[in-house]
């Protein structure tokens, strides 16, 4: 018998059962080394389609492809041993209908090992979510600000203010009714996020929502200070790795130009001559 105790990784029903409990910790990751870094601290690691903007310099998530998600999903999977992995369905891979959604969700899960997919949309996606969940594909919903709909929403504004709140309430209720095991609430007013959290049976995971959500998610490069193109109000920087990286790279460049790098300890001498 092995002396090591195997850690049972959470699966979607475990996450669902965390409703109202200790808040769920969720971060994105897109590469193996970052997945290794976040794995010991997170319940869920999300391979977000934010990868397009954060790693590929794309102007929005609309240009992210299935191939990109598969490749980054495989990289992240190699770095995880504890956290559950969820992968985003990219724009255009599920909106056509349940059959298209099933085909692409099954591909994402089978080629990356993700335990679940996340897709954006509320009432209008309920039929697709029900189709997937009844066929073995756990779905994390995503309502409120849905970045793939940036062109119809007219920007990255807070959603659900005033009379618009009812739309978000209906969206959250519809994805839960369809079988989603958790729901991301993005950029909705604090009070509305609290009300939805209290009113639905599955965990809410907030981003720009409320501390009373059942969990929180951030884009890892945002909270590490590595992605600096823009900084939404809901991002707290827990480190300034961008600045630290700039300092390190400037020091390297100066040492190369001054011929102080490589130093003697970084180069190889002659092998001792054998007589």
| Residues in touch with ligand KIV (CB under 6 A) | 28, 46, 48-50, 88, 184, 207, 217, 219
If the CB atoms of residues 48 and 249 are measured against ligand KIV, the closer one turns out to be 48
Cα→Cα distances 84→7, 30, 104, 134, 262, Å = 12, 14, 20, 20, 42
Q: How far is the CB of 250 from ligand KIV (least distance, A)?
A: 30
C-alpha to C-alpha distance for 40 and 42, rounded to whole angstroms: 6
Q: How far is the CB of 47 from ligand KIV (least distance, A)?
A: 8
If the CB atoms of residues 238 and 261 are measured against ligand KIV, the closer one turns out to be 238
Q: How far is the CB of 208 from ligand KIV (least distance, A)?
A: 9
Q: How far is the CB of 177 from ligand KIV (least distance, A)?
A: 21
If the CB atoms of residues 102 and 234 are measured against ligand KIV, the closer one turns out to be 234
Asked if 114 contacts 73 with a C-beta cutoff of 8 angstroms, the reply is yes
DSSP notation for 85-110: EEEEPPTTSSTT-HHHHHHHHHHHHH
Q: Which two tokens stand for residue 272?
A: 């001792």
Asked if 215 contacts 86 with a C-beta cutoff of 8 angstroms, the reply is no
Catalytic residue check, 186: yes
CB atoms within 10 A of CB 117: 26
C-alpha to C-alpha distance for 275 and 263, rounded to whole angstroms: 30
Residue nearest to ligand KIV (CB): 48
Q: In 3-state terms, what secondary structure has residue 54?
A: helix
Residue from 67, 96, 120, 186 carrying the catalytic annotation:
186
Helix or strand holding residue 47 (H, E): strand 44-47
Q: How far is the CB of 244 from ligand KIV (least distance, A)?
A: 23
C-alpha to C-alpha distance for 46 and 118, rounded to whole angstroms: 9
If the CB atoms of residues 68 and 178 are measured against ligand KIV, the closer one turns out to be 68
If the CB atoms of residues 68 and 217 are measured against ligand KIV, the closer one turns out to be 217
Q: Which residues are catalytic?
A: 186
């Amino acid at each position: 018998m092995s002396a090591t105790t195997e850690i049972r990784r959470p699966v979607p029903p475990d996450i669902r059962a965390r409703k109202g409990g200790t808040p769920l910790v969720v971060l994105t990751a897109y590469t193996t080394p970052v997945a290794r870094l976040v794995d010991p601290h997170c319940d869920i690691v999300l391979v977000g389609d934010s990868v397009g903007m954060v790693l590929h310099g794309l102007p929005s998530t609309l240009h992210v492809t299935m191939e990109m998600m598969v490749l980054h999903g495989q990289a992240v999977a190699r770095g995880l041993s504890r956290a559950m992995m969820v992968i985003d369905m990219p724009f255009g891979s599920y909106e056509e209908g349940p059959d298209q959604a099933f085909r692409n969700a099954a591909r994402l899960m089978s080629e990356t090992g993700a335990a679940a997919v996340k897709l954006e949309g509320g009432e209008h996606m309920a039929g697709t979510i029900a189709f997937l969940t009844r066929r073995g594909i756990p779905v994390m919903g995503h309502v409120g600000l849905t970045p793939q709909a940036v062109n119809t929403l007219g920007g990255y504004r807070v959603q659900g203010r005033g009379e618009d709140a009812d739309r978000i309430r209906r969206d959250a209720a519809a994805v839960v009714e369809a079988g989603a095991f958790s729901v991301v609430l993005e950029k909705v007013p604090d009070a509305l996020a609290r009300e939805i959290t209290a009113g639905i049976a599955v965990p809410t995971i907030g981003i720009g929502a409320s501390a009373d959500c059942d969990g929180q998610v951030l884009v890892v490069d945002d909270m590490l200070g590595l992605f600096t193109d823009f900084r939404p109000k809901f991002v707290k920087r827990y480190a300034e790795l961008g600045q630290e990286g700039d300092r390190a790279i400037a020091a390297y460049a100066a040492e190369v130009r001054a011929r102080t790098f490589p130093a003697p300890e970084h180069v190889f001498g002659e092998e001792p001559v054998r007589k």
